Structure 1
Amino acid sequence: MPEKQHQDPFEERLTAALRDTGGAFRAVDRTALVDAGRNRGRRALTRRRTGVLGGVAGVALIGVGGAMLLPSGGSDDGEQSSVASRATARASASAAAEPVSGDAILKSLKELLPEGEVSEEDARGSDEKPGPYAQVVFDDGEGAAAISLGFGRVEPGGSEVGQLTRCPDETFVPYDSCDSGRLEDGSTLRLLQGYEYPDRRVDTKLWSADLVTAEGQHVRVSEWNSPAQKGAPVTREDPPLSTEALEKLVTADVWRDVVAATPVRPAPTGSAPSSERERPPAVSGKDITQTLAGLLPAGLDVVKKGGQDTEFSYVVVDDGRGASLVQVNVQHGMDDVAGQLYASGETLPDGTRIATHQGVGDDRVPGVLMWTVDTMRPGDDGFRVVISEFNNGSAHGRPTRDAPALTMDRLREIALSEEWDKLR
C-alpha cells in the first residue's frame, strides 16, 4: 500500500493530546479547552504561513478549519464533586467496558463488506493510543480501493456535530453529491461524494459517511477509487461502496460498542489559561457578513454569501465583468503573532498595523490572483481583520476576470472601516 491512512504523526499526537486532556472537564471547561486549542492552532497556522500569504488557503483556512474530536465525558450534572473525582468516575465507567481489539474491528469490517478480496489490513484497538481505527484495501473485481474506518467523540449538541455532519460549502469544497439528515434514533448522518483534492489536480474520489449519535459518538467510513488516499493511481471510476452500502456500514451497532469501549483518560486538574478564558467571544459569522455587505461599493451585486458560524465569512460579487470572491476573517487574540504578520507592513498614527499583498492566488490554477489587506487594531485584545479577494468566484475555480473586483485602495478602505470595531 503506497501510503497508509491515519499515519500522520502530528494528527496522531493532536488526537492523543485532546483525548488525554478533554474528558476530565465539565462542559463549560471543555468549551474553554476547545477555544484555547483552536486559538493556538490558528496562531500556529499563521506562523507557518507568514511570508507565504499569496497562497489561496493562506487566509481562508484560518477561518475554514476542521472539527476537533473530543472524548466524551458526560454532561455537567451539577454535582459538587471535584474535577478529579468526576474524571475518576468517568474513567472507571469507561474502563468497565470490554476493550475491542484491532483484530475484532477488522473482523467486523470484513463481515460487513460485500463479497470481494481484502488485503493490506491494519487496525488499532479501542485501548490503544491514540485511538481505534481500521483500514483495508478492498477489491470487488472492479479494482482495488482503500477503505478506512475511524472513531471519536464530540460534545453532544456542540458545534463540532454540525461541522462533521453538514454538507460543505461548494465555494470551497466541490463535491458531486451530499445528503445530511437525522435518523430515527436521534443520530445525524452525512453521506458525501467528493474528491481527495478540492482543486481536482488528481481525480482521486473520496466518498465518506459520518455518523454522530445523540450521545456524541462519531463513526466515519471513508473510501477511495484508488488503493491509497494519496500517492497511488486511480484504479476504478468510483469507490466500491454505494451510498446505501456506506450508510449500512457506518450505522452498524458494533461500531458504537467500539467507541463506548474507548477509555476516557483522566486529565490534570485545572482549566484553560485565564488569558484564553477571558478573551472576547468569537465574532458571529452573520455579523461579519452583514458588515462586509454594508461596506461594498455601489455597482457590485452580491450573487452568493456564506461562511462559518464564527470568525469567517465571504461574499461573491459581480460588477458585470465576472464573479469575484471576497472573504473576511475577524479574530481576537492574535497579538502574540503581530510581529510576524506585520514585520514588513506599516503602523498608522492611531497604532493600527497593516500589511498588504498582491500575488498568485492558487499555484495550481493558472491566472488566479489574490489581493489581501491584513490589519490589527491597537489594544491588548489582538483584534485582527483580514480581507482577501480573488479574480474567480470559488476556491480552486478558473479565473472569471482579469483582476479582482475591488481595487487595493478600496480593499484597504473596507478593512480599516470603523464598522469592524463594533464587533470587538
Structure 2
Amino acid sequence: MPVADHDPLGDEHFGERLTDALRDTGSTFRTDQALLAARGELHGRRLRTRRWAAVAGGVAGVALVGVAGAVLLPGGTGDRQREAAAATSPAARAASATPAGSVTADALVGTLKKLLPRGSFSSQEGRGTDTPAAGRTVSPYARVVYDDGRGEASVAVSVNRLLPGGEEARQTAQCPDGAFIAFDDCSAAKLADGSALVVLKGYEYPNRRGGTKLWSAELVTPRGEHVSVREWNAAAGKDSPVTREQPPLDSAGLKALATAREWRAFAAAVPVDPRASAAPPARGGSVSAALAGLVPGGLKVVAKGTPDPGFGYVVVDDGRGRSLVQVNDQPDMRDVEGQLFGAGAETLPDGTKVVTRQGPGEKGIDGIVMWTVDTIRPDGRRVVVSAFNSGGQNAPATRKEPALTMKQLERIATDPKWLSLG
C-alpha cells in the first residue's frame, strides 16, 4: 500500500470501506465488510456486511469475506459501470459540486489535542485533504497516543461527508447487529439539531483476544457531515499490548469529542465521494423473511435479521445447537460472472451456475466453519447462501457442523422465491 494511502485508523477502516462497498455494490453485495465486508463488509463494503464490522474490529465483512475469492471491490471491472452511474446521479453531482476548502493534517492533530482532557502526548500523525491519494476522495484524520495518567491510549478522529439520506448515512446511524459484531454496549440517539450519534463499546478483535477494546462514536449531521472517533486501551489498535483497563473516554467523553463543532467545519470542507449512493431501489420483500420461509422442516428459526435489501439472515436450531444462515441477493452480476463462476462451476438444467465452498470461518474464532453455495442465474441474479456452526460469527462454535447440509443450502439458493424480490 502506498504511503499516501496508509490509514492509521487501521484495518477497521479497510473493513468499513469493504463493508460499504459490498452494500453499495448490493445492490451489489454486502462484506460488510465491507469493502471486504469496503461496509465482505465493511464494509463487508458494512462488510457491507456491515460497515460496523470495521468499527468492532472485524458488517457485513460478515457476509462475504468468508467466501474466498468471491468478493469484488469498487474499482474492479464489475463495478465501473455502477460507479459511473452513481457519479452521474443528480444527488451525487450536487454533493460533489459543493465547494471544498483545505483541511491540513496539522490543523486536525492540533484540534484533537486541544479537545482531549488534560494529559500528555507521545506521538501523533494525520492526513489532510491536501494529501495525494491516487485521485480518490480521502477522509482526513488525526491520531495521537494520549495518556491521562492511567496509561497510554490511541485516540483517532476522521472526518468526511456522506450523501444526505444515502445508504451509507443510514447505516452509520445504526447500532450493529449482535449476530455479527461482538460488543458490550451500543446506543443510537437523535440529537436536538437532527444529527444522529452512535456510541459503541466493542473490541478490536472479533474473538476479544488480548483484551484490546475499541470504543467509538459516529456522528452524522443532516447535511451529511460525518465525524468518526475511535479509541483503544492500547497505544495502537492491532498487535499492541494493552496499557490500561479501559479506553480513556467514557460514553459522555466520546459524545463530547464527536460533537465538537470544530470537526463539522473540517468535514464540511471534504467533497462527497462521487460514487456515493442513495438508498438502494425498493425491492419486493425482505431478504431475511424470504430466507426464513425457505428453512427446511425440523429447524426452528430463533432469530432473523431486519428487513434489508440484498442481505438477510436467520439463526436456526435443530435441538443440537444454533446455526447462523445468511444470504446475499444481487439482482444482476453478469458483468463479473466469468470471474466468479469459472471452469469448476456446475451448470444446472435451467442454466444456473453453482459453486460450493467449505472451510473455516473468517472471524478469527477457533472451530468456526462456513459452508457456502454461490449461484448465478442466466439473467445474472446471484444468490449466495452461507451457514455456520455457530449462532453468530463472533460467537464460539455450538456444534461440529452447520445445521443445514450443502444440498439444503443449494435448494435455498436456487429457489424461485428470490425472483419475486425484484
What range describes the TM-score normalised by the shorter chain of this pair? 0.7 to 0.9
Structure exhibiting the larger radius of gyration computed from Cα positions: 1
> How do 1:36-47 residues align onto structure 2 when only pairs under 5 Å count?
39=28
Q: Is the 8 A contact 2:95 2:271 kept in 1?
A: no
* Distance in 2 between residues matched to 1:251 and 1:177, nearest whole Å: 19
Which is worse superposed, 356-365 or 288-297? Answer: 356-365
C-alpha spacing 1:105/1:332, structure 2 compared with 1 (3 Å) = same
Contact 2:144–2:156 at 8 Å: present in 1 too?
yes
Q: C-alpha deviations, 1:124-155, integer Å up to 9, x for none? A: 34554534221100011211111111000011
* Residue 111 (structure 1) aligned with residue 119 (structure 2): no
Closer/same/farther in 2, CA of residues 89 and 418 from structure 1, 3 Å limit: closer
Alpha-carbon distance change, 398 to 125 in structure 1, aligned in 2, over 3 angstroms: closer
1-structure distance, mates of 2:281, 2:268: 33
Task: Give 1:199's aligned amino acid.
Answer: N
Distance 1:60 1:296, change over 3 A: farther
By how many angstroms is 1:258 displaced?
Answer: 1.3
SS in 2 for 1:161: helix
Q: Flag the 1:116–1:406 CA change in 2: closer, same or farther, 3 A.
A: same
Deviation at 1:410, TM superposition (A): 2.1
Which residue number corresponds to residue 242 of structure 1?
250
Alpha-carbon separation, structure 2, partners of 1:4 and 1:146: 14
The runs of 5 or more residues in structure 1 that have no matched partner are: 19-33, 49-54, 78-82
**Count of residue pairs the alignment pairs up:** 366
Tell me the secondary structure at the aligned position of residue 58 of structure 1: coil
CA contact (8 A) 1:133 1:150 kept: yes
| 1:342 positional shift | 2.8
Q: Cα 1:400–1:115, aligned 2, differ >3 Å: closer, same or farther?
A: same
Partner amino acid, structure 2, of 1:394: G
Q: Can you list the C-alpha shifts for 1:221-276, whole angstroms capped at 9, x where unaligned? A: 110011112221111111111111111111111111212234679x8xxx99xxx9
Name the residue aligned to 1:293. 292
Offset at 1:383? 0.5
Structure number with higher helix proportion:
1
Deviation (angstroms), 1:281: 4.6
1:167 deviates by 0.5
Structure 2: stretches of 5+ with no match in the other structure: 1-5, 41-62, 75-82, 133-137
With over 3 angstroms needed to count, the CA separation of the structure-2 counterparts of 1:363 and 1:116, relative to structure 1, is closer
Q: Are 1:173 and 2:181 counterparts?
A: yes
| Aligned positions of 1:360-379 closer than 5 A | 360-362=360-362, 364-379=364-379
TM superposition score normalised by structure 2: 0.75
* Matching residue's letter, 2:349: P
Paired residue type of 1:293: A
Q: 1:401 aligns with which of 399, 402, 408?
A: 399
Residue 7 of structure 1 deviates from its aligned partner by 7.2
How far did residue 347 of structure 1 move?
0.7
Aligned pair partner of 2:381 in 376, 380, 383: 383
C-alpha distance in 1 between matches for 2:339 and 2:69: 18
Question: What's the offset of the Cα at 1:200?
Answer: 2.1
Superposition map of 1:128-167 within 5 A: 128-129=131-132, 130-167=138-175
Distance, in Å, in 1 between the alignment partners of 2:69 and 2:190 is 28
> Is the deviation greater in 335-344 or in 156-165?
335-344
More deviation, 115-124/212-221 = 115-124
Say whether the 8 Å CA contact 2:363–2:394 is kept in structure 1: no
Closer, same or farther in 2 for the Cα pair 1:100/1:338, shift >3 Å? closer
Distance 1:174-1:111 versus aligned 2 partners, 3 A rule = same
Higher relative contact order structure (alpha carbons within 8 Å, sequence separation ≥ 6): 1
> Following TM superposition, by how much is the alpha carbon of 1:205 offset from its aligned partner in structure 2, in angstroms?
0.7
Query: How far 1:113 moved relative to its partner?
Result: 1.1
Q: Secondary structure at the match of 1:202?
A: helix
Quickly say closer, same or farther: Cα 1:7–1:246, change in 2 above 3 A: closer
Determine if the alignment matches structure 1 residue 184 to structure 2 residue 192.
Answer: yes
CA distance in 1 between partners of 2:166 and 2:96 (Å): 24
1:364 positional shift: 3.4
The amino acid of 1:403's aligned partner reads: E
CA distance in 2, matches of 1:414, 1:328: 9
Quote the Cα distance in structure 1 between the aligned partners of 2:25 and 2:298. Answer: 41
Find out whether 1:251 has 2:259 as its counterpart.
yes
1:62–1:314 Cα change, 3 Å: farther
Q: Which amino acid aligns with 2:394?
A: H
Deviations 1:174-213 (A, max 9, x none): 1011111101111111111101112223321111111111
Tell me, yes or no, if the aligned pair for 1:204 and 1:226 is still in contact at 8 Å: yes
Q: Name the CA distance, whole Å, in 1 between partners of 2:345 and 2:306.
A: 28
Partner of 2:328: 329
Secondary structure of 1:304 counterpart: strand
> Could you give the per-residue CA deviations for residues 63-99 of structure 1, whole angstroms, max 9, x where no partner exists?
9x99xxx9xx9x969xxxxx6xx789733xx44xxx4
Identity of matched residues, %: 48
Match of residue 57 from structure 2: none
Task: Decide whether aligned partners of structure 1 residues 36 and 112 sit closer, same or farther in structure 2, where only a CA change above 3 A counts.
Answer: same
